[in-house]
Amino acid sequence: MFLIHDLCTLLEGYLEPDQVKEVYRAYLFGAEAHEGQHRLTGEPYIYHPLAVARILAEMRMDYKTIIAALLHDVIEDTETARENLVSSFDEEVANLVDGVTKLTQVKFGSKAEAQAENFRKMILAMAKDIRIILIKLADRLHNMRTLGVMRPDKKRRIARETLDIYAPIANRLGMKNISLELEDLCFQAIHPLRYRVLDKAVKQARGHRKEIVDKIRTAIEERLHNEGLDVPVIGREKHLYSIYQKMINKGLSFKDVADVFAFRIVVDKVDTCYRALGVVHNLYKPVPGRFKDYIAIPKANGYQSLHTILFSPYGIPIEVQIRTEEMQRVAEAGIAAHWQYKTGDATPGHATEWLKRLLEMQQNAGNSEEFLENAKIDLFPDEVYVFTPEGDIVNMPRGATALDFAYAVHTDVGNTCVSVKIDRHLAPLRSELLNGQTVEIITAPGAKPNPVWLDFVTTGKARANIRHYLKHMQRDEAISLGKRMLEKATAAIALSWDLSSAKDVQTVLDGLNVHSLDELYEAISLGNRVASVVARQIADILAEKHPQGQKAGVKGMFSRYAPDWMKPSASRSTKKPLAIRGTEGSVVTFAKCCHPIPGDPILGFVSAGRGIVIHLRNCKNVREFKNNPERWVDVQWEKDVEGFYPVDIRVDTANQRGVLATVAATIADLESNIENVSITERDGRYSTMLFTVLVKDRVHLAQLMRRIKATEGVVKITRSKS
């Protein structure tokens, strides 16, 4: 059992005596706070904070981090308030403990929402002090080590969360030892049978190959000694989860996994790394394409080493890693090694860049669950390395596209990019990047993100920024449309509303229970408020405020107004219908039952949450909404509408070879695309083809139908409207 005097003995190896005394005082404080609490194992609860503190002490963390580790659960699990920590210790310790504490006082709609919001809180706190995530990782590591007493379903849930979030974070921060142990513990909890089978296979292989491995290690050491390099060669066994992942991802059997056994050479300086590499390449032949230089180009988490795969004379490939002692410390402890051996309170560059990306994603995410989704994408950086035109190296996750690269350079570059050159040749934005490519992004001032981009970007930063831009763009369109709808509704009842009068505007906003005109306009365009009803409410509010003024007669006049857009009325006959531009985004949708296109006579129906749905005036489904006349909006097409719109056409043809290809070619010749096609055979002589095609307007459709009608084999063509 690890006790407080064991912790103090460990700390005396690198902390001042006064600091060790403060740690002991924190232990007494925590033990008193957790008095009477026990873990599921039956042991006193304080043993858990002690174990967490030990993990951090083994990383040689500073004394305030150790104190926070001993107290990390007192706010969440006891009656202790944050103010008690400030008065008993200081603000710094209180901030560390508060950063690790979950949001237990807030009620969430689901476990997923709670998990996402707690993750957001942790990331925001971690951006202020990186030690918070170190305490959280040590806490999670001890919880995983003692997971055995829990129910199987709870084990799997905690292990899955750890595998999705905490193990990748540890890897991102270069804490490879913690990352690997977390992965193996998660593997054991999620797939216990597979874990046991693989563990047995590794032990058997170790027994069978022990003699061979010893011979290889001795041969490498002797060759290095002959070249004047007296350094030890350490055998390294690949972790079970790493072996399992390689088997799953590459479809390999256990005996086909190349680097189950590997060797590590730790030298004094960088030059010696490359000398040692030459020695092992002269001893055993390297496998072509399997050498990686992470010293010249470090991984995103700061990891540096030389990796090479060699052909051994015993028929088994072996992996050799070569690094300096400093690189070894960073490889094992990552950011924790930086904390102890470098500046003490500064976050290393690779972690700073990652935190900046996370904060930017957090600001642009619509909610905590979207942020968590984007962060998970960003937490699996199997990297590729590409170059800017100036020769700077940019590391990207494997599978990243040229568009992801644009957003990695800068958000504005991503938002305004129009094309890309890869190795000086034009390429699609969706092109997947490969190691060593030079990528040049071409931008244009008026360019803006396309919703289609979300289908192929892979990085969390790109996804978050595209969504953020599109939301704002759609909101601007919604506000513009809602304003036009309200202006039309107020004009229809002859209501003159002076928007320059701040007092009148505020009175109306208060009466409608909204915070701003933009909020009101957006609600109208999305169908959450009906423009005609809002106009009536405004008239009533203003009439009540100015009973003797010019607006005094508005209320009475309005009460006689009939808000039925389907009926002709004197007030309506002279008013211009609402113009539809086709660029309103999600606030205006076009009914799929009748597929209206520019030039068609149309009507709009206000639908809650969907905005205005545009139908043909003679659409059969219009009759279903006759009982909601206040939701109808009189609309017409803008004069110069751009874009392509789907429309259904029915083509009756003779059953003859090649007729479908001929019709499809005719459609393509007239700059139209086919979205969908289905064919039914009426009898042995005739077939019916139903096409959904994209056209600009009625004129374009008419040209298309005339050309198809003139095609050999076509008997009849009609537009399908319902």
Q: What is the DSSP string of 523-541?
A: HHHTTSS-HHHHHHHHHHH
More confident call, 656 vs 435: 656
Angle, CA 398 vertex, CA 392 and CA 404 arms, to 5°? 65
* Catalytic annotation, pick one of 62, 77, 440, 652: 77
Question: How confident is residue 261, by pLDDT bands cut at 50, 70 and 90?
Answer: low
- pLDDT over threshold 90, residue 182: yes
Spatial separation of the C-alpha atoms in residues 654 and 715, rounded to whole Å? 7
Q: Are 430 and 403 in contact (CB under 8 A)?
A: yes
Burial profile 513-538: b = 16 or more Cβ within 10 angstroms, e = fewer: ebeebeebbbbbbbbebbbbebbbeb
pLDDT grade for 529, boundaries at 50, 70 and 90 = confident
- For residues 646-672, one letter each, b for 16 or more C-beta atoms within 10 angstroms of the residue's C-beta and e for the rest, the string is bbbbebebeeeeebbebbeebbeebeb
Q: Rounded mean pLDDT of 527-540?
A: 76
How far apart CA 164 and CA 162 sit, in angstroms, is: 6
Q: Summarize the confidence of residues 432-458 as an average pLDDT.
A: 83
| Whole-number pLDDT of residue 508 | 82
Write the CA distances from 288 to 252, 281, 314, 436, integer angstroms.
20, 11, 18, 17
Integer-rounded Cα radius of gyration of the chain:
34
pLDDT at 512: 82
Residue closest to 698 by CA, chosen among 579, 618, 598: 598
CA dihedral 174→180→183→184, nearest 10 degrees, is -170
In this model, does residue 275 exceed pLDDT 90?
A: yes
- Closest to 380 measured CA to CA, from 362, 400, 361: 400
Residue 411 C-alpha from the chain's centroid: 15
Which of the residue ranges 131-135, 475-479, 606-610, 649-653 would you say has the lowest mean pLDDT? 606-610
Most confident of 134-143, 531-540, 623-632, 678-687: 134-143
pTM of the complete model: 0.54
Distance CA 501, CA 294 (A): 66
Q: What is the pLDDT of residue 66?
A: 93
Q: Which of 407, 400, 304, 394 is nearest to 348 (CA)?
A: 304
Mean pLDDT along residues 213-232: 88
CATH topology of domain 4-193: Hypothetical protein af1432 (1.10.3210)
When pLDDT is averaged across residues 20-36 and rounded to a whole number, the result is: 91
pLDDT tens digits, one per residue of 354-386: 566 666 666 656 555 555 655 555 555 566 778
Q: In 10 A of CB 468, how many CB atoms?
A: 19
Average pLDDT over residues 669-674: 85
Q: H helices within 191-313, ranges in order?
A: 192-226, 240-250, 270-283
Residues 480-500: tens digit of each pLDDT? 778 887 887 787 777 776 676
| d(C-alpha 371, C-alpha 461), whole Å | 10
Model pLDDT for residues 398-433, shown as the tens digit of each residue = 788 999 999 988 888 998 888 889 888 888 888 888
- Give the residue with greater pLDDT, 574 vs 196: 196
Percentage above 90 pLDDT, the chain: 16
Yes or no: say if 612 and 525 are a contact pair by the CB < 8 Å rule. Answer: yes
77 labelled catalytic: yes
What pLDDT is attached to residue 566? 32
Tens digit of pLDDT for each residue in 610-653?
677 888 888 888 777 666 766 777 788 888 887 888 899 999 99
Paired residues of 691 in beta bridges: 649, 677
**76 an active-site residue?**
yes
Give the pLDDT confidence score for residue 28 in this predicted structure.
92
Residue 609 tokens read as: 């949450």
| Amino acid type, 669 | D
pLDDT at 54: 93
What pLDDT score does 488 carry? 78
Question: How high does pLDDT run on average in the chain?
Answer: 79
pLDDT above 90 (res 580): no
CATH architecture assigned to 204-341: 2-Layer Sandwich (3.30)
- Which of 566, 587, 573, 570 lies closest to 521, judged by CA? 587
List helix spans (H) across 71-191: 74-77, 82-88, 91-100, 111-128, 131-145, 152-161, 167-172, 176-190
Helices 502-512, 517-525: inter-axial angle, 10-degree rounding? 50
Instruction: State residue 104's pLDDT score.
Output: 40
Residue 600, amino acid: D
Domain covering 645-720 in this structure, CATH number: 3.30.70.260
pLDDT, position 355: 62
What are the CA-CA distances from residue 541 to residues 313, 321, 508, 535 (Å)? 92, 77, 6, 10
Q: Find the angle CA(546)-CA(548)-CA(551) to the nearest 5 degrees.
A: 55
Q: Which two tokens stand for residue 480?
A: 């513009």
Question: Could you tell me the residue ranges of all domains in the chain?
Answer: 4-193, 204-341, 469-637, 645-720
DSSP code at position 453: G
Q: Could you tell me if 267 and 212 are in contact, meaning their C-beta atoms sit under 8 angstroms apart?
A: no
Q: What is the DSSP letter of 101?
A: S
Q: pLDDT at position 280, please?
A: 92
Residue-wise pLDDT tens digits, 37-81: 888 878 889 999 999 999 999 888 889 999 999 998 888 888 888
The CA distances from residue 91 to 31, 87, 614, 620, in Å, are 21, 8, 59, 69
pLDDT at 369: 59
Torsion of CA 670, 671, 677, 683, to 10 degrees: 10
Which amino acid is residue 1, in one-letter code? M
Q: Choose the catalytic residue: 76, 164, 293, 373.
A: 76
Residue 22: per-residue pLDDT: 92
Residue that the structure tokens 């005082």 belong to: 25
Query: Which two tokens mark 446?
Result: 């008026």
Task: Read off the pLDDT of each residue in 506-517 and give the average, rounded to a whole number.
Answer: 83
Q: Over 60: is that where the pLDDT of 249 sits?
A: yes
- Nearest CA to 35 out of 82, 77, 98 is that of 77
3 state SS of 319: strand
| pLDDT at 317 > cutoff 60 | yes
The helix (run of H) or strand (run of E) holding residue 355 is helix 349-364
Rounded Cα–Cα distance for residues 27 and 10 (Å): 15
Task: Flag the least confident range among 50-64, 316-330, 560-574.
Answer: 560-574
